[in-house]
Structure 1
Amino acid sequence: MSLRLLHCPSCSSKNTVKNGKIHNGKQNHKCNDCGRQFVQDPQNKIIDEATKRLIDKLLLEKIPLAGIARVAEVSEVWLQQYVNAKYGQVPRQLEVSAKKRGGLTLECDEAWSFVANKANKQWIWLALDRSTREIVGVHIGDRSQEGAKALCSSLPPVYRQCAVCYSDFWQAYQAVLPSKRHRAVGKDSGQTNHIERFNCTLRQRVSRLVRKTLSFSKKLENHIGAIWFFIHHYNASLPL
């Protein structure tokens, strides 16, 4: 017997009939017009592309995953799986605009963060091009000399060969950066204002980096992915 009150979710036809039951015993239906099979009030909601695009934007704001799930009207379980896959696919290298040799100035800094608990510190090493405001170097790890080396290795060759680098007095910079092109300065000098301002932006936009947050990362892979996701967005949003 046709169920006149049920609409096909694909073509909106009312020409639907019962068609057995699914694995959990719930009544299955079939559309006689397009052949689509469906259940009434399905537990597994199909997430459309518009909702996914909204979620991608919300991931760039200071909103915890539970809040995003409420706004986008998706389950937290599905959202966590989506985020895991999204962050796993984010490139771990930067696309930086081409630069001429000479006249390049970098501002370098490192920001504290943690995963799972505060004993598991993860330092975010960053290098910013003072002229273009691009983030041109990134490394996430410990605050040792190896971390400074990894930051330098992440820089495009033209910066490693030519740029003058301003940083704080952390000894790892002095051990790694060429002494002729390294300037260790205090915050009152104003020479690292741009990178320090970016660190504030990072903390205000990525919920897991907000101080005293309840949205801290529980998996290192997602922690790193979230940071890279925002940095790619930040660089892409800069004026050409």
Structure 2
Amino acid sequence: MNCPKCESTQIIKYGLTHYGKPRFRCQKCGRQFVENPSRQPIDEATRILVDKLLLERLALAAIARITGVSKRWLQFYVNKKYAQITQEVEVTKKKTGKLVIQLDELWSFVGNKQNKQWIWLALDMDTREIVGVWIGDRSRCSAKKLWQSLPSVYRQCAVCYTDFWEAYAQVLPSKRHKAVGKETGKTSYIERFNNTLRQRVGRLVRKTLSFSKKLENHIGAVWYFVHHYNALLRA
């Protein structure tokens, strides 16, 4: 018998699995395995498919059914993937000059509706890129975190259109902050993106059964879609 990881023959018996099958352990690399496993390692094509399905409005149980992977493996895969996602916007380089951004906040929750999480977003009115993201409560502190997440060029010279939520007026530069109503159309792009986000990220769909139970995965799912969205605009 050879180790499936390093091909070593230094194999010892290592008890039984949960299903009663003999388990073995490689003394060289420490890999634990069973002989003739019923489930084979997940191939790269399946992982790529899972990555694509995570960008659609699907629960993890649905993705497991489509791809044939186990729910346990999928949850571990998602946990690891979201933990590695960069929580910083990647946008095309901008010159200092006339820049206009739209800002808005989107309600969500984790675990139950009492644990509210607000997704704060900023969108470049010209390129449609998402240029700022923060997930937290709806306080002045979160508005400040959104402002700090913007690339420096936007903080220096961008005109900011928002709704009348008081936290914006407390944080944004007064000379460049424009609080407007929906009827003006000055926040239409960010409101449209909010709708896109709800349609594509199952955790944000109203009356869903696929809502997040773990805050880290909730944040990771939002950032994963934002990076994908910006990448498509740059393509």
Q: TM-score, normalization: structure 2? A: 0.86
Q: How far did residue 27 of structure 1 move?
A: 7.5
Q: Distance in 1 between matches of 2:22 and 2:191?
A: 59
Match of 1:232 in 2: 227
Query: Is 1:77 equivalent to 2:93 in the alignment?
Result: no
Q: How far did residue 43 of structure 1 move?
A: 3.9
Q: How far did residue 94 of structure 1 move?
A: 1.2
Q: Distance in 2 between matches of 1:215 and 1:20?
A: 42
CA contact (8 A) 2:15 2:22 kept: no
Q: Distance in 2 between matches of 1:183 and 1:140?
A: 23
Give 5+ residue unaligned stretches, structure 1: 1-9, 11-18, 29-36
Larger radius of gyration: 1
Query: Is 1:126 equivalent to 2:113 in the alignment?
Result: no
Q: Deviations over 1:131-161 (max 9, x none)?
A: 0000000000000000110000000111001
Q: TM-score, normalization: structure 1? A: 0.84
Query: Is 1:169 equivalent to 2:164 in the alignment?
Result: yes
5 Å-filtered alignment, 1:40-119, equals 40=36, 42-119=37-114
Q: Distance in 2 between matches of 1:187 and 1:77?
A: 44
Letter aligned with residue 39 of structure 1: E
Select the residue among 170, 173, 182 that pairs with 2:177.
Answer: 182
User: RMSD between aligned alpha carbons?
Assistant: 2.0
Q: Name the count of aligned residue pairs.
A: 214
Q: 1:50 to 1:160 in 2, by over 3 A?
A: same
- Deviating runs (4+, > 6 A) in structure 1? 19-22
Q: How far did residue 95 of structure 1 move?
A: 1.4
Query: Is 1:140 equivalent to 2:97 in the alignment?
Result: no
CA contact (8 A) 2:118 2:137 kept: yes
Match of 1:39 in 2: 35
Q: Deviations over 1:85-117 (max 9, x none)?
A: 000000011112111111100000000000000
